[in-house]
């Protein structure tokens, strides 16, 4: 009987399997020509296999009952005969999520494009509603006259007030980090221990771990123990816990995570402490990236301050200043983060107790006469005495009651502090003693129905949660950019200020990440030297210095000149330290078994591009070849977890060279001249370009050989050179004796692949792009803005206040000398314009560098005044008033141009990419450095390049921006045809967007390029030519964001922390160049099969900053949903 039942089940199952096969075969037969069944971006149906299965289920609806019976019978058979292991848990911290399952995978995921997330407040929709007017609100200039009924409070419903003392310490702004510490921060922290210890009712919060660590290192054991007690007893709270309070506009999310991890790691291993609440009072606008990182790191709450005054007023009117902040793609609330917006102008005392600053200022007791500060409203504070305590208490309580009208609970937060406050013991005494007298009076007079005390930020949030269930607060998605604090003063200038240092930040980010990953891989193979002693110290310092620059006056470019120099010097040291560990790791991984030990201070390899000074752009190494050096090896390292093939470029001393791979096979290459002026070529330097392939996280070797001219081979191609617009006789150089020189200019095109070409006008600037057989106008111009005239507020480091809405077009006279270089590997257009040396390049590459037009701008505006330069693209794309920018390189957000906002209010940060699109095509620009971006007309994208400003903009800096440097900007411009009626398109009413695979790869390539190194001639040992640590390549949309060695809590040694990120991509774009690439299937990763040497290690869950170790994974196979960040810790199993 059981046998017949089993045979019946198998028979029906076989019939169903045949039906499925027939269905799929028919579907393949009906595919349009050339669209084979590849798991690639070229075929959206196969990328979204779950949707096909859903369709299949619909087609086979009549079989559902049969399948149900089969499942029941199979379950019975399993129960009766087969002992089965527990099913694999493919979820990670998703137990409470409401999800949609991927058919065929059983993975619970939120499908980005299937549903527009429903929230109570969507910031783009809110912007559409706001008038952005600025009526005078009375004492609360940007609000209204608040009234209340005293009877709303009674003994069973008291007003609860938490006064939270704090001191905002900038790790660099008007002074350097170290100078601030020496003259202010050290005293603040010293006095904190003294004054908090005197009275257990006193409380204080602190944010910046960079300062705290510096202070901690100087303290005795007794002081350290007392600090631990203060934290344990709740008198001292560390908020956020990051190395700095980071910028949230132009910083990259990987750098944000690095500074957060540095802080959390320090707190764990010095104080055994994990923060609960975030504190972001000074970043100039807020991004949803940071709450996502904080939540994934284990925090629960967040306070923010710098939000557009019109937005604050709207939220306050509706008592929505506290909300559950969701990610743009979140449909189930799994990313919600409880957030409080401070309602008034600033975080200083006059703007935190209530709506009337002239009253609140009277309760900043450091402004008592003779302390050096005063109230601008000319009413000074009064020392609290028995004679005046009643009157003063009622005056202050009135402000607290008015502030309470803006929130849903009867709990009031009143921060008490400002920049570098509590430096002197006298301020501690003045603030704490006078406030305690006020507290005593209010609490003792029960008819006032108030409970008031000093508190920490988490004290406040705990009280709010006791009053209301979080589900009673609204949900919100979007960001709080661009910030304006008053009038039309939009803080969009800092998106571009000091672009040299913004570029240096990204170079350091890529080098540091690549170095950490390779050191972790080498350590996993038993090379302990790389994570101990001096090498570990080098990496630690590099992380700290890079993290320091993420401060909201660092990467923003809003510090004084001498502080900017200090930041740059620290970043150069961090870059050198990272490079040293990188080359040491390569030496350890390539050394032969005969090498037993190595000198950790030795330099075995040099990076191809180095910076000799903190003001220098990258300078490429010259590979000298000749009779005495007939061949030279180069080492290539790929810091991404998949094999890459791309064009690599070297500078060599002779044009007569050829390239071979590690097996001696010749590699096609191209030699191009190097220009040293508009009409001069270098006879000592040539550009060698060739295609190289490097395994994921791997290392490989190529060899460059010098040739005699007579032995010139077909593998080497000397580029063809044409020069337009000159009559100058250009001296010939070896290999390039026949140059085509034309006295006129003309339109021309360059192409490297049949699918893509670029056309240029007589000016030498881009005119159009062709994809396939279709030509699309893409006009590139440079434009400039001035600043407002005399008597008006002007642009400065923070503010962008242009002289007129429409900038002037520059460089259009067509008289520039144009250089055209063509060859089998690359084609390039170069022209030298006033303030810009502009280059456009197309590569003949099967890799991601073959996807678009590469733009390189060398910008130098040091001879200008009140000048802001932008690069603008005009197209016929019907984008209307919509465009898209990234959020810290993590997600994409929809933007809208509003005529009701000025030009500066329509500018947004572009940390990594931006795009415009219509139903036909999309134009994406990926950037190697953060800058400001706007779309001031339909079909237009405008990217600011640099800004030079004579004056201060009255935001505290006290100077203009006049320290401009020669700056290199790198972009990749990608034009893609959109699939008609694509079923997987992001809905037009969705508040976010998605990069295409091409856009994603282009952005990734700019941030994490292949690293070229040169072995030193005096290497004391032999090297292997190749190293590959991965067992398989990760899909292109699944990234290993970081891979580094961490200490494991409780003294359990070290482990390797891996952060995985599953990108969500827009699959409505086809590119034949990408058909060979593997796109993730449900984000599945078998962790034991990923990295060699770690297959037998224990794998555990962890918070994002690895300050704790979670439970071991039941299965090494993990699945990531789109957008998900997944931290994993590998550690050696204890024997």
Active site members: 282
Rounded-to-integer distance, Cα 672 and Cα 849, Å: 18
CB-side neighbour CA atoms (13 Å) of 1006: 32
Kindly calculate the radius of gyration of the chain based on its CA atoms and give it in whole angstroms. 31
Strand residue runs (E) in 420-539: 450-454, 475-477
How far from 1127 is each of 260, 273, 1060, 1130, CA to CA, in Å?
14, 20, 6, 10
What end-to-end distance do the CA atoms of the chain give, in Å? Answer: 51
> Residue 841 in 3-state DSSP?
strand
Our CA angle for 862, 866, 872, nearest 5°, is: 85
Alpha helices in 473-601 (DSSP H): 499-524, 533-549, 561-590
**Residue 1117 near residue 1087 (C-beta atoms within 8 A):** yes
Instruction: Encode 1070-1134 in three state secondary structure.
Output: CCHHHCCCCCCCCCEEEHHHCECCCCCCEEEECCCCCCCCCCECCCCEEECCCCCEEEEEEECCC
d(CA 273, CA 1120): 29
C-alpha to C-alpha distance for 95 and 1061, rounded to whole angstroms: 19
Nearest to 847 by CA among 720, 1036, 1094, 1088: 1036
Distance CA 675, CA 828 (A): 12
Which two structure tokens, joined as six digits, stand for 822? 């063509």
212 Cβ contact list (under 8 Å, min separation 6): 189, 206, 238, 266
Q: CA 1102, 1105, 1109: angle at the middle one, nearest 5?
A: 30
Q: Look at residue 907 and give its three-state secondary structure.
A: coil
CB atoms within 10 A of CB 272: 12
- Token readout for 7 is 């045979």
Among candidate residues 349, 358, 345, the one with its CA nearest the CA of residue 417: 349
> Which letter does DSSP use for residue 222 in this model?
H
Three-class DSSP category at 974: strand
Considering only CA atoms, which of 1133, 1128, 1070, 1073 is closest in space to residue 1102?
A: 1128
Closest CA to 822 of 902, 734, 718: 718
Question: Which residues make Cβ contacts (< 8 Å) with residue 803, sequence separation at least 6?
Answer: 785, 786, 787, 788, 789
Strands 301-304 and 277-280: parallel
What the block records as the tokens of 1046 is 């961490």
Q: How far apart are alpha carbons 78 and 87 in whole angstroms?
A: 13
Q: Do the Cβ atoms of 164 and 414 come closer than 8 Å? A: yes
Of the candidates 998, 996, 931, 939, the one whose C-alpha atom is nearest the C-alpha of residue 970 is: 931
Question: Locate tokens 């508009």: which residue?
Answer: 678
How far apart are alpha carbons 297 and 303 in whole angstroms? 16
Distance CA(712)–CA(657), nearest Å, equals: 8
Q: From the centroid of its chain, how far is CA 96? A: 28
Residue in the block written with tokens 């937005």: 311
List the alpha helices (DSSP H) in 158-241: 177-180, 186-198, 209-216, 221-232
By C-alpha distance, which of 243, 247, 273, 276 is closest to 259?
A: 243
């Amino acid at each position: 009987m059981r046998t017949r039942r089993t045979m019946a089940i198998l028979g029906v199952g076989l019939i169903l399997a045949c039906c499925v096969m027939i269905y799929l075969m028919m579907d393949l037969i009906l595919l349009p020509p050339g669209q084979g069944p590849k798991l690639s971006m070229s075929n959206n149906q196969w990328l979204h296999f779950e949707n096909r299965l859903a369709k299949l289920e619909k087609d086979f609806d009549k079989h559902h009952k049969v399948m149900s019976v089969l499942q029941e019978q199979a379950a019975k058979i399993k129960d009766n005969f087969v002992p089965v292991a527990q099913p694999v848990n493919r979820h990670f911290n998703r137990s409470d999520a409401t999800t949609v399952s991927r058919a065929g995978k059983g993975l619970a995921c939120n499908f980005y494009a299937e549903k527009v997330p429903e929230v109570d407040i969507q910031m783009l929709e809110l912007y559409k509603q706001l008038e952005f007017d600025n009526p005078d609100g009375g004492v609360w200039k940007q609000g209204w006259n608040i009234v209340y009924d005293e009877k709303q409070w009674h003994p069973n419903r008291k007003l609860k007030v938490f006064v939270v003392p704090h001191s905002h310490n900038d790790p660099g702004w008007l002074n350097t980090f170290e100078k601030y510490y020496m003259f202010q921060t050290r005293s603040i922290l010293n006095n904190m221990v003294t004054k908090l210890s005197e009275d257990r009712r006193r409380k204080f919060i602190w944010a910046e771990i960079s300062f705290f660590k510096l202070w901690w290192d100087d303290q005795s054991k007794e002081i350290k123990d007392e600090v631990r007690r203060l934290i344990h007893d709740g008198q001292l709270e560390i908020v956020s816990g990051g190395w700095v309070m980071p910028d949230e506009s132009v910083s990259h999310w990987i750098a944000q995570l690095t500074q957060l991890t540095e802080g959390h790691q320090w707190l764990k291993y010095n104080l055994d402490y994990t923060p609960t609440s975030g504190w972001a009072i000074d970043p100039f606008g807020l991004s949803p990236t940071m709450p996502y990182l904080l939540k994934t790191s284990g925090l629960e709450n967040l306070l923010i301050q710098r939000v557009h005054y019109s937005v604050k007023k709207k939220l306050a009117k509706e008592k929505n200043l506290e909300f559950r902040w969701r990610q743009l793609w979140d449909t189930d609330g799994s990313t919600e983060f409880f957030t409080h917006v401070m309602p008034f102008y600033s975080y200083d005392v006059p703007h935190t107790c209530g709506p009337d600053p002239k009253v609140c200022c009277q309760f900043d007791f450091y402004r008592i006469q003779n302390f050096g500060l005063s109230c601008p409203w000319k009413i000074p504070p009064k020392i609290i005495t028995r004679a005046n305590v009643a009157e003063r208490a009622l005056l202050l309580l009135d402000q607290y009651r008015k502030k309470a009208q803006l929130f849903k609970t009867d709990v009031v937060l009143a921060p008490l502090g400002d920049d570098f406050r509590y430096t002197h013991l006298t301020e501690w005494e003045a603030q704490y003693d006078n406030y305690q007298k006020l507290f005593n009076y209010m609490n003792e007079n029960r008819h006032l129905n108030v409970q008031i005390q000093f508190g920490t930020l988490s004290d406040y949030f705990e009280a709010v949660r006791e009053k209301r269930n979080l589900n009673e607060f609204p949900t919100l998605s979007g960001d709080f950019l661009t910030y304006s604090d008053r009038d039309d003063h939009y803080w969009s200038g800092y998106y571009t200020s000091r672009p040299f240092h913004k570029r240096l930040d990204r170079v350091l980010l890529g080098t540091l990440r690549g170095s950490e990953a390779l050191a972790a891989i080498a350590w996993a193979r038993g090379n302990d030297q790389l994570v101990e002693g001096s090498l570990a110290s080098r990496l630690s310092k590099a992380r700290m210095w890079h993290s320091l620059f993420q401060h909201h006056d660092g990467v923003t470019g809003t510090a004084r000149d001498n502080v900017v120099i200090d930041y740059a010097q620290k970043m150069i040291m961090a870059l050198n330290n990272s490079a040293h560990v990188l080359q040491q790791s390569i030496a350890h991984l390539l050394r032969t078994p005969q090498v037993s030990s190595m000198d950790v201070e030795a330099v075995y390899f040099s990076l191809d591009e180095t910076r000799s000074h903190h003001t220098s752009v990258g300078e490429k190494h010259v590979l000298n070849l000749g009779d005495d050096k007939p061949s030279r090896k180069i080492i290539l390292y790929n810091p991404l977890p998949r094999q890459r093939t791309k064009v690599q470029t070297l500078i060599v001393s002779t044009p007569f060279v050829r390239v071979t791979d590690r097996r001696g096979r010749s590699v096609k290459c191209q030699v191009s001249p190097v220009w040293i002026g508009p009409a001069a070529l270098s006879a000592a330097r040539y550009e060698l370009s060739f295609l190289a392939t490097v395994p994921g996280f791997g290392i490989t070797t190529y060899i460059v050989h010098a040739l005699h001219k007579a032995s010139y081979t077909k593998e080497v191609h000397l580029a063809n050179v044409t020069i337009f617009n000159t009559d100058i006789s250009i001296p010939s150089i070896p290999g390039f004796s026949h140059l085509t020189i034309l006295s006129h200019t003309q339109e021309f095109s360059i192409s490297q692949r049949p699918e893509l070409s670029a056309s240029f006008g007589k000016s030498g600037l881009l005119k159009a792009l062709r994809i396939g057989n279709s030509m699309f106008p893409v006009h590139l111009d440079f434009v400039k803005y001035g600043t407002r005239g005399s008597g008006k507020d002007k642009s400065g480091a923070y503010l962008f206040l242009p002289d007129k809405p429409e900038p002037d077009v520059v460089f259009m006279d067509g008289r520039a000398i144009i250089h055209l270089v063509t060859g089998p590997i690359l084609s390039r257009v170069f022209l030298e314009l006033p303030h810009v040396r502009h280059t456009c390049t197309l590569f003949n590459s099967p890799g991601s560098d073959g996807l678009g037009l590469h733009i390189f701008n060398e910008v130098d505006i040091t001879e200008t005044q009140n000048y802001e330069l932008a690069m603008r693209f005009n197209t016929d794309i019907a984008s209307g008033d919509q465009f898209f920018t990234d959020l810290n390189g993590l997600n994409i957000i929809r933007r809208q141009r509003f005529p009701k906002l000025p030009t500066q209010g329509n500018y947004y940060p572009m940390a990594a990419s931006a795009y415009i699109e219509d139903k036909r095509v999309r134009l994406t620009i990926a950037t190697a450095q953060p800058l400001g971006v706007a779309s001031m007309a339909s079909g237009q994208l405008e990217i600011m390049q640099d800004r030079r400003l004579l004056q201060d903009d009255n935001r505290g800096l006290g100077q203009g921006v006049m320290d401009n440097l020669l700056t290199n900007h790198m972009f990749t411009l990608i034009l893609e045809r959109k699939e008609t009626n694509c079923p997987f398109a992001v809905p037009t009413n969705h508040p976010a967007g998605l990069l295409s695979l091409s856009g994603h790869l282009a952005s990734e390539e700019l941030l994490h390029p292949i690293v070229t190194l040169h072995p030193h001639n005096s290497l004391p040992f032999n090297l292997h030519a190749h190293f590959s640590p991965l067992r398989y390549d990760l899909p292109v949309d699944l990234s290993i964001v970081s891979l580094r060695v961490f200490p494991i809590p409780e003294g359990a040694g070290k482990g390797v922390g891996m952060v995985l990120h599953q990108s969500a991509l827009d699959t409505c774009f086809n590119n034949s160049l990408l058909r060979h690439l593997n796109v993730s299937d449900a984000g599945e990763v078998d962790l034991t099969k990923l990295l060699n040497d770690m297959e037998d290690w224990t794998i555990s869950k962890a918070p994002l900053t690895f300050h704790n170790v979670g439970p071991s994974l039941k299965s090494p196979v993990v699945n990531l949903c789109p957008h998900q960040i997944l931290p994993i810790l590998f550690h050696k199993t204890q024997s």
